């Protein structure tokens, strides 16, 4: 590992100033970054430790919630407001990693964790456009069981591995950012990028920009929400596929619905087509399956991941069944 210096800023403005140094990288829980450094995928000159920056979880004036970026995943999952008003977020966090890792991992780091494509981590032996632009992609035509069925390109077919971000996408979360040029906000669903011809760029984050918080709005659909993760092992494994959904019923009809899929793209995938079909309709098993079918019609599969299409349809229907009491 290359030698590096270490800074621990006390404020957000000190952190963004420190990040302006060449080769500076933010370090939060370190659960992804340190692995990347060990594998020689990241070689920062300076680590800027942001793990002691704001980690509070506060109500917002409009009835939403503001979660500090340094809040630990385990703390967010256990917070009473998250558990009761945003259960999909609590469940998604608890489905991720292990208790020890959740105790270290932060909200900001979770959003920015990198893909788990095995070729990306194999710096010594594999071609990977995300790690080294222009080198090729060994997942196309290789082991691609975990890879994307939506939004992939000829340059990269990786998925984003976060469970938490799938829940945040369904909750219409907003990412608060601070940089040398001031503050800005980006919808979580627009924060991660599809690979296109620049798979090495994962997000719309600007150089040196810090995630300071995640904001959740108030919503009855959020309070009636759930997360389901399908994986090869029942714990300590990344998602093959996951579904986050929230739903509000009124007069026997679906008034509001949000569905996001994980494990299918380089970003959490909002199932807008399925939502459109279901909004205003009475909940039935047939409608759930038809809506999921319409969403999955645009899927493009590879040798190892064609099973995700059927798995996604059934998992969407099962989660909506759980939220409505309709047997799916
Ligand atoms: C064995 C193992 C199993 C796992 N299983 C799962 C799983 O099942 N599901 C899942 O979702 N995740 C899983 N994870 C990933 C884990 O959730 C992430 O590693 C963790 O969330 C990253 O958070 P961190 O605070 O440790 O980030 P770090 O490792 O410190 O940082 C990650 C990245 O975020 C950047 N960063 C951190 N904070 C900020 C900020 N505030 N602003 C801007 N940039 C920032 C860093 O520069 C770095 O690039 C697993 C990890 C391991 C090691
Ligand atoms: S899918 Fe993406 S991350 Fe995986 S090898 Fe190809 S370019 Fe690299």
| Residue identifier of the C-alpha nearest atom 27 of ligand 1 | 109
| Residue identifier of the C-alpha nearest atom 8 of ligand 2 | 128
> Residue 259 is part of a domain; what is its CATH number?
3.30.390.50
**pLDDT value for 276:** 98
Quick check: pTM over 0.95? yes
Domain assignment of residue 10, yes or no = yes
> Residue 36 is part of a domain; what is its CATH number?
3.30.43.10
Structural domain for 40, as ranges: 5-51
Domain assignment of residue 251, yes or no = yes
Domain assignment of residue 285, yes or no = yes
Phi-psi region of 23 (alpha: psi -120 to 50; beta: other; left: phi over 0): left
Walk along the chain (328 residues) in steps of 10 and give the mean pLDDT of each run.
94 97 97 96 98 97 98 98 98 97 98 98 96 98 98 98 98 98 97 98 98 97 98 93 98 98 98 98 98 98 98 98 90
Q: Any idea which ligand is nearest the CA of 47? A: 1
CB of 266 within 8 A of CB of 192? yes
How many angstroms separate the alpha carbon of residue 60 from the centre of ligand 2? 39
Domain assignment of residue 30, yes or no = yes
**pLDDT value for 328:** 60
Domain assignment of residue 283, yes or no = yes
| Residue identifier of the C-alpha nearest atom 14 of ligand 1 | 97
Domain assignment of residue 131, yes or no = no
| Residue identifier of the C-alpha nearest atom 47 of ligand 1 | 26
Count up the domains in the chain and report the number.
2
How many angstroms separate the alpha carbon of residue 281 from the centre of ligand 1? 39
**pLDDT value for 106:** 98
How many angstroms separate the alpha carbon of residue 27 from the centre of ligand 1? 10
Rg (CA), the chain: 19
Torsional sign, CA 19, 22, 24, 25: positive
CA angle 140, 244, 56 (to 5 degrees): 110
Residues in the chain: 328
Domain assignment of residue 103, yes or no = no
**pLDDT value for 235:** 85
How many angstroms separate the alpha carbon of residue 157 from the centre of ligand 1? 20
Domain assignment of residue 12, yes or no = yes
């Amino acid at each position: 590992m290359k030698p590096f210096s270490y800074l621990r800023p006390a404020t957000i403005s000190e952190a963004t100033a420190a990040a302006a140094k060449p080769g500076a990288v933010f370090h939060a829980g370190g659960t992804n970054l340190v692995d990347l450094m060990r594998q020689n995928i990241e070689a920062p000159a300076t680590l800027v430790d942001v793990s002691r920056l704001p980690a509070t979880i506060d109500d917002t004036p409009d009835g939403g919630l503001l979660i500090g970026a340094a809040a630990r995943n385990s703390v967010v999952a256990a917070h009473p407001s998250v558990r009761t008003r945003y259960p999909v977020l609590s469940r998604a966090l608890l489905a991720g990693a292990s208790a020890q890792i959740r105790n270290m991992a932060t909200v900001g780091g979770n959003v920015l964790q990198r893909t788990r494509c095995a070729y990306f981590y194999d710096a010594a032996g594999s071609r990977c456009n995300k790690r080294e632009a222009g080198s090729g992609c060994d997942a196309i035509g290789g082991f691609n069981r975990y890879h994307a069925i939506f939004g992939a390109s000829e340059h990269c077919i990786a998925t984003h591995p976060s469970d938490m971000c799938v829940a945040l996408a369904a909750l219409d979360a907003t990412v608060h950012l601070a940089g040398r040029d001031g503050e800005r906000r980006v919808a979580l669903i627009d924060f991660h990028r599809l690979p296109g011809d620049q798979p090495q760029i994962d997000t719309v984050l600007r150089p040196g920009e810090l995630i300071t918080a995640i904001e959740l709005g108030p919503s009855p659909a959020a309070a009636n929400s759930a997360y389901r993760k399908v994986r090869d092992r029942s714990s300590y494994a990344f998602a093959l596929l996951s579904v986050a959904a929230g739903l509000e019923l009124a007069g026997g009809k679906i008034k509001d619905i949000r569905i996001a899929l994980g494990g299918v793209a380089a970003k959490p995938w909002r199932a807008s087509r399925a939502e459109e079909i279901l909004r205003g309709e009475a909940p039935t098993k047939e409608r759930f399956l038809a809506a999921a079918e319409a969403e999955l019609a645009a899927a493009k599969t590879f040798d190892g991941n064609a099973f995700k299409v059927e798995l996604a349809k059934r998992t969407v229907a099962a989660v909506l069944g759980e939220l409505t009491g309709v047997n799916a």
